[in-house]
Amino acid sequence: MLKVLYAGSPEASAVTLKLLIENSKSQDFKIVGVLTNPPSAKGRHKDLIPTPVADTASENNIPVFTPEHLDSSARDEISKFEADILVCFAYGHIFGPKFLSMFCFGGINLHPSLLPKYRGCTPVPAAILNRDSETAFSVQTLSLKMDEGDILAQKKVALTGKETAGSLLNDAAVSGAELITSLLVETASTGSLKKGIPQSGDASYTTIISKEDGRLDWTKSARELDAMVRAYNPDPLCFCYMGAVSASSGTNLPVLRIAEVALVDSALEKDFSDAEPGKVVHFDKSTGIWVKTGDGLLALKMLQKPGKNMMGYKDFINGTRDFVGSVLS
């Protein structure tokens, strides 16, 4: 029986863990422990909330370990699991040589990009922002440098231009579980981890996304803004200000969060060619609330005003009668 230590934290990683647990019931491997980030303080009362991975592990009676640092005391605790291999997806830490030496087969990592493209922590938003035609879900060996491991398995995926970061991450979680399961089954059967293929080609790197990255600049094209909204859904969500930012107002204006948009047929743009970027020009019952951009029209479909829940454009316009004709910034 191959003993597996799983490392991860967010919801997508919990999806992969859940599928691996289910798959392990009929295969010769077992998740013996889970490594995840410590609970974080959330909400008005700052309650400590476990990670989704911790919740999934607890629901399946799997021991959970939440160290602040992967130091000697953490290694001592984790060594008690006697795991043969480390499986990681979105844990958020680089493992040192002493840590990796605890596993006879080393570690493997699921990374949702066509490596070596988009190494780092935000490969999925990067692929959407750049409007790539394809990406991949890659399983690599864990190396001492960020995302520079050998490729053990890879599934290329065509992008349609409709994906959100959330939907693509979920696809990565599901497909990744299939790839990882196959590798674990093979390792358990042969007694060794297959040899990977070194990465080749030009490497690129992604960075941490901030809330400010989600601010919409209406002078950009509708296609660029559409990609932004999809890339930053569900987190941090795109936003703009309801009104024109000026020297007097600054950014002390109501914030409008936007979760879903759609491109408007370019043939309809001529009727609003004189409108400035950011002008709310039309409400269309079938497509949404149209906003003029630097190139094209963008239909807003899911919106959220301060103090309100996210809502569809019809409910929004019913409660914001003066919205058409206003300017967003």
Residue 199 lies in a domain: no
Low-confidence ranges of the chain (pLDDT < 50): none
Whether residue 158 is found in the same domain as residue 287:
no
Which residue, of 155, 173, 190, is where some domain finishes?
A: 190
Tell me the C-alpha distance between 219 and 310, whole Å: 25
Tell me the C-alpha distance between 86 and 26, whole Å: 20
Tell me the C-alpha distance between 171 and 152, whole Å: 19
Q: End-to-end CA distance of the chain, in Å?
A: 59
Tell me the C-alpha distance between 290 and 282, whole Å: 5
Domains of the chain: total:
2
Tell me the C-alpha distance between 123 and 129, whole Å: 10
Q: How far is CA 102 from CA 1, 79, 262, 289, in A?
A: 17, 7, 50, 56
| Domain of 54, in residue numbers | 2-190
Q: Residue 199 corresponds to which tokens in the numbers above?
A: 């990465």
Q: Residue 55 corresponds to which tokens in the numbers above?
A: 């919740």
Per the DSSP assignment, residues forming a β-bridge with 280 are 291
Residue 277 preceded by cis peptide, ω within 30: no
CATH label of the domain that carries residue 73 = 3.40.50.170
Tell me the C-alpha distance between 98 and 164, whole Å: 38
Residue 198 lies in a domain: no
Whether residue 32 is found in the same domain as residue 149:
yes
CATH label of the domain that carries residue 274 = 3.10.25.10
Whether residue 17 is found in the same domain as residue 117:
yes
Tell me the C-alpha distance between 147 and 72, whole Å: 24
pLDDT of residue 246: 66
Structural contact between residues 316 and 303, judged by C-beta atoms closer than 8 angstroms: yes
Whether residue 185 is found in the same domain as residue 229:
no
Residue 297 lies in a domain: yes
Whether residue 11 is found in the same domain as residue 156:
yes
Whether residue 21 is found in the same domain as residue 109:
yes
pLDDT of residue 17: 98
Per the DSSP assignment, residues forming a β-bridge with 327 are 279
| Angle, in degrees to the nearest 10, between helices 165-190 and 11-24 | 30
pLDDT of residue 61: 97
pLDDT of residue 245: 75
Whether residue 158 is found in the same domain as residue 237:
no
Residue 116 preceded by cis peptide, ω within 30: yes
Residue 74 lies in a domain: yes
Per the DSSP assignment, residues forming a β-bridge with 3 are 30
Whether residue 252 is found in the same domain as residue 309:
yes
Tell me the C-alpha distance between 150 and 240, whole Å: 42
pLDDT of residue 248: 60
pLDDT of residue 45: 67
The residue ranges of DSSP E strands in the chain, in sequence order, are 2-7, 29-35, 40-42, 47-49, 64-65, 85-88, 107-111, 134-141, 151-158, 238-241, 255-263, 280-284, 288-292, 297-304, 311-312
Which residue, of 155, 190, 225, is where some domain finishes?
A: 190
pLDDT of residue 249: 57
DSSP-assigned letter for residue 200: -
Tell me the C-alpha distance between 7 and 94, whole Å: 11
Whether residue 172 is found in the same domain as residue 248:
no
Tell me the C-alpha distance between 326 and 316, whole Å: 14
